[in-house]
Amino acid sequence: MNASDRPTLLSIEELSVLVSSPVRTHLAGAYRGLYPAANDPAQKPQHEQHLEKVLAAMKVSPRTSTFRVNTIRATRTEVVDKLVLAMNEWAEREGLCTPNPLPISVAAHAVLEDIVTVDIAQSPTTLSSCRIPPLQVELDTDSSFGDEARRARRQRLGWPTTCKVIVCDRLCGEAVLRGSHVFVRGILAADPSIRVGQALAVYADLPQPQRPSWPRGLAVESYTGTCVFVGIGQACCTHAEFFR
């Protein structure tokens, strides 16, 4: 099997946020005043290290979402109460309340009087370093990949062997990282025979220069592009409904 016959699977941590040299210089300069001048010319200046940490953080979804309250329409307390109610209803639908408490907290900002924050508890499993789902979150034990020959081929290609896969376009993948659902119009490729409720590994295609875009409706095993693993989802419709 040639390298060109296999997809390239990446983790989020393997990606880089690229900015032009003038923009990088400007951004690093904004942090220069926060640190003393470097005494060791061989060491990278602290303000440049700070910028690298900021760029690295941009690859990962923030744990805190911040909302500004229109205090003409409602008080901050009313907004907090409504958000808590909405989060509890959502958690109950998703089965997140048992046996553990709700992993989300809603609170008024300690200083800013018109700000509400929603914090997500730290997940015990970090997916940003994974190219395929780690074993502890691969929930589908009936993936039905057929005979051993097909399972072995799938393993050689690098795809997960214990859950089905979908590959979405880049814009869809970026939305998923910020908390959106995957809508069918964003799906480029999918494993066959996906059922409602089935666990899915979600990948986002990374368009490559000099290569045409992928058509919608591909089987995952026919996809040979470059993609990044963005998370685990659950199918809300069947494979037949993806590409109607």
Pair 70, 82: CB distance under 8 Å = no
Decide: 204 and 176 in contact? Cβ < 8 Å: yes
Given a cut of 70, whether residue 101 has pLDDT beyond it is: no
Domain with 182 in it: 125-242
Say whether both 158 and 132 belong to one domain. Answer: yes
Query: 194: Cβ–Cβ under 8 A, 6 or more apart, which residues?
Result: 164, 166, 200, 235, 238, 239, 242
77 and 160 together in one domain: no
pTM above 0.95, yes or no: no
pLDDT tens string 40-82: 777 788 888 999 999 888 887 778 889 999 999 999 999 999 9
Tell me, yes or no, whether 190 lies in a domain: yes
Q: Is residue 152 part of a domain?
A: yes
Same domain, yes or no: 213 and 234: yes
Instruction: State residue 218's pLDDT score.
Output: 93
Q: In this structure, are residues 228 and 203 in contact, taking their beta carbons and an 8 Å threshold? A: yes
140 and 222 belong to one structural domain: yes
pLDDT band at 91 (very low <50, low <70, confident <90, very high): confident
Give the end of a domain, one of 79, 95, 120.
Answer: 120
What's the pLDDT score for residue 4?
A: 66
Residue 53 placed within a domain: no
Q: What pLDDT, on a 0 to 100 scale, did the predictor assign at position 56?
A: 87
Q: Of residues 94 and 137, which shows the higher confidence score?
A: 94
Contact 65, 118 (CB under 8 A): yes
Same domain, 81 and 164: no
- Residue 162 shares a structural domain with residue 195: yes
Judgement on whether residues 89 and 160 belong to the same structural domain of the protein: no
| Residues 166 and 97 placed together within one structural domain of the fold | no
pLDDT bin (cut points 50, 70, 90) of residue 177 is confident
- Tell me what pLDDT residue 127 has: 80
- The string of pLDDT tens digits covering residues 104-127 is 889 999 999 999 999 877 665 578
Q: What is the mean pLDDT of residues 232-236?
A: 91
Do 183 and 91 sit in the same domain of this protein? no
CATH number, domain of 185, equals 2.30.130.10
Domain boundary among 55, 87, 120: 120
Residues 143, 235 share a domain: yes
Strand ranges in the chain using DSSP code E only, listed in sequence order: 8-10, 64-68, 104-108, 115-120, 164-168, 187-190, 199-205, 218-219, 226-234
Domain-located, residue 208: yes
Decide if pLDDT at 96 tops 80: no
d(CA 131, CA 145): 20
Q: Do 129 and 99 fall into the same domain?
A: no
- Residue 25 in any domain: the answer is no
Q: Are residues 94 and 110 in the same domain?
A: yes
Nearest to 36 by CA among 49, 46, 50, 26: 46
- Mean pLDDT value of segment 200-221: 91
Assess whether pLDDT exceeds 80 at residue 99: no
Is residue 31 domain-resident? no
Domain-ending residue, one of 98, 120, 142: 120
Number of domains within the chain: 2
**Confidence category of residue 95, pLDDT binned at 50, 70, 90:** low
Q: Which of 160, 231, 228 is nearest to 11 (CA)?
A: 228
